[in-house]
Amino acid sequence: MKDNLGRNIDYLRISVTDKCNLRCKYCMPAGGVPLIPHEELLTLEELYRVAAIFAGLGIKKIRLTGGEPLVRKNFIWLVEKIHAISGIEEIGMTTNGVLFAEKAEDLKKAGLTSVNISLDTRDKDVFAKITGVDAYEKVNRAIAMALEAGIHVKINCVPCKELNEDSLLQVAELAKNAPIDVRFIELMPIGCGKEFTGIASDALLERLEYAFGKAQSYEGKLGNGPASYYAFPDFQGKLGFISPMSHSFCNSCNRVRLTAEGRLKLCLHSDKGMELKPLLRAGLSNEKIKEQIEAAVLGKPKEHHFTEEQAEADKRKMFQIGG
């Protein structure tokens, strides 16, 4: 499926819930948030149907995210069903890892090909300060169990001056002794993210080179996203940078998103999109829904404007969009 600018859209990110078992300071307000009532969420059967409709439109890779996807009941059923859809080549998930270890084997069997585990520090106390929960060991175990199950592991780390600046080298070192790719994501001024100061990728790369030696830009394929990867001397995995703030990658954007309540979002930071839930619940055929999605995708915004106030900016927070 192509948009008006000729970009090929073959990647769908599905948020399965807005609920989460952590409260990362830059993502979720500690005081709680109004959550989507259960009946407003798409059911797992509806999520599966949407995935099948998108596969018919040329989507090849699906990422399941949230909120925390593993707090959604019967999540593994959804992975299994999506795995069986013809045309879907990869299923990834993004998770905080807290509930992952005991499900790793079953997720692998269900067809999960890769997991992005979010980890901003390897210091147990700093972890508890950032997330509000003393669960570092569980995430550590999740990484080990994912590797053991043969699932490709990437770590997502959001460098933030006030929260984890002193933890970044240790997080990077996860890529040294295991085949794990560690990606540093520039903090975006979305929701609580506005209250913190991110660290630019170029400045961090300089620090990493100072600590670990000269990096070689890596041109091989490591996923479908906007990360730039580097090989470091004696590292098994690569270090990557996702730089929405300092380097725009909108001209090669290949993705659209589905929120847990069924809104198709055409860009992370824009409210442009369409409501799929009424169509799914009005008895329309998959063919009719497909036509409407194709028409909507043509209007995918050219680029995001994080650095300016944008009239059409989405007011949703990261855990509501599905980061």
Determine, following the binding rule CB under 6 A, whether residue 228 of this chain makes contact with ligand SF4.
Answer: no
SS3 81: helix
**Beta pairing, strands 152-157 & 181-185:** parallel
Determine, following the binding rule CB under 6 A, whether residue 167 of this chain makes contact with ligand SAM.
Answer: no
Q: DSSP assignment, residue 232?
A: -
Determine, following the binding rule CB under 6 A, whether residue 28 of this chain makes contact with ligand SF4.
Answer: yes
Q: Which two tokens stand for residue 202?
A: 């170029």
User: CA–CA separation, 285 vs 218, rounded Å?
Assistant: 44
Question: How many amino acids of this chain bind ligand SAM (CB under 6 A)?
Answer: 20
Determine, following the binding rule CB under 6 A, whether residue 9 of this chain makes contact with ligand SF4.
Answer: no
User: CA–CA separation, 258 vs 183, rounded Å?
Assistant: 23
Cβ atoms of 279 and 289 closer than 8 Å: yes
Determine, following the binding rule CB under 6 A, whether residue 47 of this chain makes contact with ligand SF4.
Answer: no
Determine, following the binding rule CB under 6 A, whether residue 156 of this chain makes contact with ligand SF4.
Answer: no
Output b/e per residue, 284-321; b: 16+ Cβ within 10 A. Answer: eeeeebbeebeebbeebbeebbbeeeeeebbebbbbbb
First to last CA, the chain: 22
Q: DSSP assignment, residue 188?
A: P
Determine, following the binding rule CB under 6 A, whether residue 158 of this chain makes contact with ligand SAM.
Answer: yes
Determine, following the binding rule CB under 6 A, whether residue 185 of this chain makes contact with ligand SAM.
Answer: yes
Which of 17, 113, 116, 118 binds ligand SF4 (CB under 6 A)? It is 118
Which of 63, 67, 79, 243 binds ligand SF4 (CB under 6 A)? It is 67
**Angle, in degrees to the nearest 10, between helices 286-297 and 44-55:** 70
Q: DSSP assignment, residue 9?
A: -
Only segment of 46-54, 84-92, 93-101, 126-134 that touches ligand SAM (CB under 6 A): 93-101
If the CB atoms of residues 20 and 57 are measured against ligand SAM, the closer one turns out to be 20
Determine, following the binding rule CB under 6 A, whether residue 316 of this chain makes contact with ligand SF4.
Answer: no
Cβ atoms of 143 and 174 closer than 8 Å: yes
Which of 12, 14, 16, 27 binds ligand SAM (CB under 6 A)? It is 27
Determine, following the binding rule CB under 6 A, whether residue 212 of this chain makes contact with ligand SAM.
Answer: no
Partner from ligand SAM, ligand SF4, none contacting 187, C-beta within 5 to 8 A by type: ligand SAM
Cβ atoms of 62 and 82 closer than 8 Å: yes
Determine, following the binding rule CB under 6 A, whether residue 164 of this chain makes contact with ligand SAM.
Answer: no
Question: How many amino acids of this chain bind ligand SF4 (CB under 6 A)?
Answer: 12
CA distances from 148 to 95, 104, 105, 153, 154 (A): 17, 9, 9, 10, 14
Which of 258, 319, 320, 321 binds ligand SF4 (CB under 6 A)? It is 319
Determine, following the binding rule CB under 6 A, whether residue 26 of this chain makes contact with ligand SAM.
Answer: yes
**Beta pairing, strands 152-157 & 114-118:** parallel
Determine, following the binding rule CB under 6 A, whether residue 156 of this chain makes contact with ligand SAM.
Answer: yes
Partner from ligand SF4, ligand SAM, none contacting 28, C-beta within 5 to 8 A by type: ligand SF4
Which of 14, 16, 20, 171 binds ligand SF4 (CB under 6 A)? It is 20
Only segment of 21-29, 70-78, 168-176, 300-308 that touches ligand SF4 (CB under 6 A): 21-29
- Which residues form the interface with ligand SF4 (CB under 6 A)? 20, 22-24, 27-28, 66-68, 96, 118, 319
